[in-house]
Amino acid sequence: MEIEAGSANPNADGDDDYKGKMSRGLKRTLVVFNCLITILGTVGGPLISRLYFHHGGKRIWLSSFLETAGFPIIALPLPLLPPPRRADPGAKPVLMTLPVFAACVAIGVLTGVDDYLYAYGLSFLPVSTSALLVSTQLAFTALFAWVVVKQRFTPFSLNSVALLTVGAVILGRTRVRQAGGRDAAAVRAGLRPDAGLRGAVGLVLPLVELTYAKAKQKITYTLVMEMQLVMGCFATLFCLVGMIVNNDFKVIPRRLRVSG
């Protein structure tokens, strides 16, 4: 579903009052901004996390927390956007309805689980292996898209899923064979949570699309940013609770004193 395209019920919840129009330059600026942030996180995030574990870091919940702790940056473009409704003192400042908010909370918690599985797997696997195993996510995404949003399989999608999944399986088996003794056990320990991660992420994407379809309101850029903000917030809160339970806040200052 395109962001600026109308939903099945574009006039629901008063969204026919949406009068703000973004200029073409602003649209391009926002797209470029989002692309740069995505590239920065996709490339730099795994390298920094693996560097932490490589140098003796043990706090998996801390690493999980940092994966989505930058969610407030999503709010930066919101003041630049045109007003979503007519000038009305009683208009709500937030476009999200309560059902959409509840769905985003649930997806955010699931994303927090993804964060933990990713950090756990990355504590054992090299960055190159973990990055290549992302291809297995396509199989889970295609399966859950068929189950959740009834997206049909095509010969092209089946062929791509089969090739990428088989390639990832061969890569995993090759890594295990190349590693010996303790290293092989570490690779196996990292592959299991990584597989769970790909399944969970493969479920998140169809759930987001289902939320768009069931929103009963126009899907605008502002609404999408609000949804992403809520999902990032609750994913981070989930990992924050894990840090508290795991006593990370007591260990981190002590480790910093030792390192300093």
In order, the DSSP letters of the chain are --TTS--SSTTGGGGGG------HHHHHHHHHHHHHHHHHHHHHHHHHHHHHHHTT---HHHHHHHHHTTGGGGGTTGGGSPPSS-S-TTS-S----HHHHHHHHHHHHHHHHHHHHHHHHHTTS-HHHHHHGGGHHHHHHHHHHHHHS-PPP-HHHHHHHHHHHHHHHHHHHHHHHHS-THHHHHHHHHHHHHHHHHHHHHHHHHHHHHHHHHS-S---HHHHHHHHHHHHHHHHHHHHHHHHHTTHHHHHHHHHHHH-
Q: What is the mean pLDDT of residues 174-180?
A: 61
- pLDDT of 15: 43
For residue 256, give both structure tokens.
């910093």
Q: What is the mean pLDDT of residues 44-49?
A: 83
Of the ranges 7-11, 144-148, 192-196, the best mean pLDDT one? 144-148
Q: What is the mean pLDDT of residues 8-31?
A: 60
Q: What tens digit of pLDDT does each residue of 79-110 get?
A: 766 655 444 455 567 788 899 999 999 999 99
**119 pLDDT above the threshold of 50:** yes
2 to each of 6, 104, 221, how far by Cα in Å?
A: 8, 18, 10
Among 111-125, 170-184, 186-200, 212-226, whose mean pLDDT is lowest? Answer: 170-184
- pLDDT of 10: 44
pLDDT over 70, % of the chain: 75
Question: Is residue 16 very low, low, confident or very high in pLDDT (cuts 50, 70, 90)?
Answer: very low
Among 12-26, 201-215, 234-248, whose mean pLDDT is lowest? Answer: 12-26
**14 pLDDT above the threshold of 60:** no
- pLDDT of 240: 94
**pTM of structure:** 0.75
- pLDDT of 198: 76
Q: What tens digit of pLDDT does each residue of 130-171 get?
A: 777 777 777 788 888 888 888 887 887 777 777 777 776 676
